[in-house]
Chain A
């Protein structure tokens, strides 16, 4: 639910960010605990994350440094990590390398410009950067506005303030989602990947796969029935 156009106060992110920087070691330790308590397949899925440099907390801390002190070294590290992935992510059929480069460039400029809106209690760096890149692509390719909710609007959104522990909870949740995603049947995961990589609506996916619309809908619903269980909330 984290969106880049939030008008959140900087202080929330900064406080949370400082907490993350200071507690970086602690959170790495706690992640190991999580891993050992998970099942074996969780281990396989999280192998990638064992490299400290790609550790979610490390990426969060880079983004916080960009937000708090306009740290260009940290920004360069984020660029090195994310730019090739954003390009790979969106370089599906139909979008040329040039277009993908434009999206990457626009997305990374917006990561810099909007970094003060990043709130690690609400999203990991990769989640937030996904939303920034997604919106950059809509902006560049469709030249449209993307209406988004303002989750800081108190008269409509009455969630309680996130607690520092929620940062770790978000990480756990992301890890659990990653495991479940890896376990989804191929036909379900294919639909999700087409949706995200190619920004295709489910009706377009049905056309592309030459499937009845109802089949695509039911694959999406089955996938989220499973994924919902990991979201730990009544949704």
Chain B
């Protein structure tokens, strides 16, 4: 995969430290599934976490704790017989990376897409994290999403097809990190529909008249 857009170091540090909430982490994990280079950076960051753990001051641990841990794992050993995890049954060629498949399944065509108007479809994704909202979005080949800006942060990971806007060209695996200062109008590539995962923490602000005529966009 020819990936040219990766998350910023500060966003990756937030992911590595565990500070990112579920929605953002879903975007990063999906990108990581497709990008060896970002994965290497994560490995380095986690190694630093391990070094800091090695160097951490040793705090006092109660004598009883090991006993209660043993009780827990002993009860595991009795109850876990036959609970081996089975290999997942993803179909070869599916475009849904595993962290995302946990939420939406493996088949993008089999989803309950909802029309947003102008040929754009979306599929809201349920998260336990209420601070962000997640959705898959499908833009018809060659068509745009109405021009909009952001009040907060928007992470977009391309799953198939691609899009371009004022910041550049995005293909499968690429992640776009957009903040309040970006006003853009993503256009799907001509050859195929663009399917992407989009995470936001505030409603988008649509600037053109087209979107204002199409009510569902207001809810994004």
Task: Give the interface of A toward B (CB within 8 A).
Answer: 1-3, 7, 48, 54, 70, 72, 76, 79, 82-89, 91, 97, 100-101, 104-105, 108-109, 112-113, 122-124, 126-131, 133-135, 137-138, 142-151, 153, 155-159, 170, 173-174, 177-178, 181, 192-193, 195-197, 199-202, 204, 216-217, 220-221, 224, 227-228, 230-231, 233-235
Contacts of A217 in B (CB 8 A): 8, 10
**Stretch binding the partner chain, chosen from B64-72, B115-123, B142-150, B184-192:** B64-72
B17 part of interface (Cβ distance < 8 Å): yes
Among B28, B40, B59, which residue has its beta carbon within 8 angstroms of that of A88? B59
B36 part of interface (Cβ distance < 8 Å): yes
Whether B50 contacts A153 by the Cβ 8 Å rule is no
A176 to B87 alpha-carbon distance, docked (Å): 36
A104 to B88 alpha-carbon distance, docked (Å): 31
Whether B21 contacts A142 by the Cβ 8 Å rule is yes
Give the contact-size bracket for chain B: 35 or more
A133 to B22 alpha-carbon distance, docked (Å): 17
Q: How far is the CB of A127 from chain B (nearest CB, A)?
A: 3
Contacts A48-B54, A126-B53 given; indicate if A146 touches B22 (C-beta within 8 A): yes
Contacts of B62 in A (CB 8 A): 101
Rank and list the top 8 A-B pairs by shortest CB-CB distance, nearest first.
Answer: A127-B50, A1-B43, A84-B58, A87-B59, A126-B50, A147-B29, A89-B56, A150-B98
Give residues of chain B (72-100) contacting chain A, Cβ–Cβ below 8 Å.
Answer: 72-73, 76-77, 85, 87-88, 90, 92-94, 97-100
Among A123, A143, A149, which residue has its beta carbon within 8 angstroms of that of B47? A123
Question: Which among A145, A151, A192 has the highest number of chain B CB atoms within 10 Å?
Answer: A145
Whether A234 contacts B10 by the Cβ 8 Å rule is no
Whether A134 contacts B65 by the Cβ 8 Å rule is no
Whether B13 contacts A177 by the Cβ 8 Å rule is no
Whether A227 contacts B18 by the Cβ 8 Å rule is no
Whether B20 contacts A79 by the Cβ 8 Å rule is no
Contacts A104-B61, A192-B48 given; indicate if A137 touches B18 (C-beta within 8 A): yes
Contacts A134-B49, A148-B99 given; indicate if A195 touches B14 (C-beta within 8 A): yes
A45 to B99 alpha-carbon distance, docked (Å): 37
Contacts of A1 in B (CB 8 A): 32, 39-40, 42-43, 46
A174 to B129 alpha-carbon distance, docked (Å): 33
Whether B53 contacts A129 by the Cβ 8 Å rule is yes
7 more A-B residue pairs beyond the given contacts A109-B73, A196-B48, A201-B14, with a C-beta to C-beta distance below 8 A: A3-B46, A7-B88, A89-B56, A158-B36, A201-B17, A221-B10, A227-B44
Question: Which among B53, B77, B128 has the highest number of chain A CB atoms within 10 Å?
Answer: B53
Among A7, A97, A156, A201, which residue has its beta carbon within 8 angstroms of that of B34? A156
Whether B52 contacts A228 by the Cβ 8 Å rule is no
Ordered by A's residue number, 7 sampled pairs between the chains whose C-beta atoms are within 8 Å are A7-B87, A127-B46, A130-B53, A133-B53, A221-B9, A228-B44, A235-B38
A216 to B22 alpha-carbon distance, docked (Å): 23
Whether B49 contacts A196 by the Cβ 8 Å rule is yes
Per-residue interface assignment for chain B, residues 1 to 40, with 1 indicating a CB less than 8 Å from any chain A CB and 0 otherwise: 0000000111001100111111001101110111011111
A202 to B129 alpha-carbon distance, docked (Å): 19
Contacts of A70 in B (CB 8 A): 77
Q: How far is the CB of A191 from chain B (nearest CB, A)?
A: 9
B57 part of interface (Cβ distance < 8 Å): yes
B209 part of interface (Cβ distance < 8 Å): no
B55 part of interface (Cβ distance < 8 Å): yes
A87 to B109 alpha-carbon distance, docked (Å): 47
B178 part of interface (Cβ distance < 8 Å): no
Whether A147 contacts B50 by the Cβ 8 Å rule is no
Name A9's closest neighbour in chain B (CB-CB): B87
Contacts of A89 in B (CB 8 A): 52-53, 56
Name A142's closest neighbour in chain B (CB-CB): B21
Among B44, B65, B88, B127, which residue has its beta carbon within 8 angstroms of that of A101? B65
Contacts A7-B87, A85-B53, A143-B128 given; indicate if A220 touches B9 (C-beta within 8 A): yes
Contacts of A149 in B (CB 8 A): 29-30, 32-33, 39, 97-99
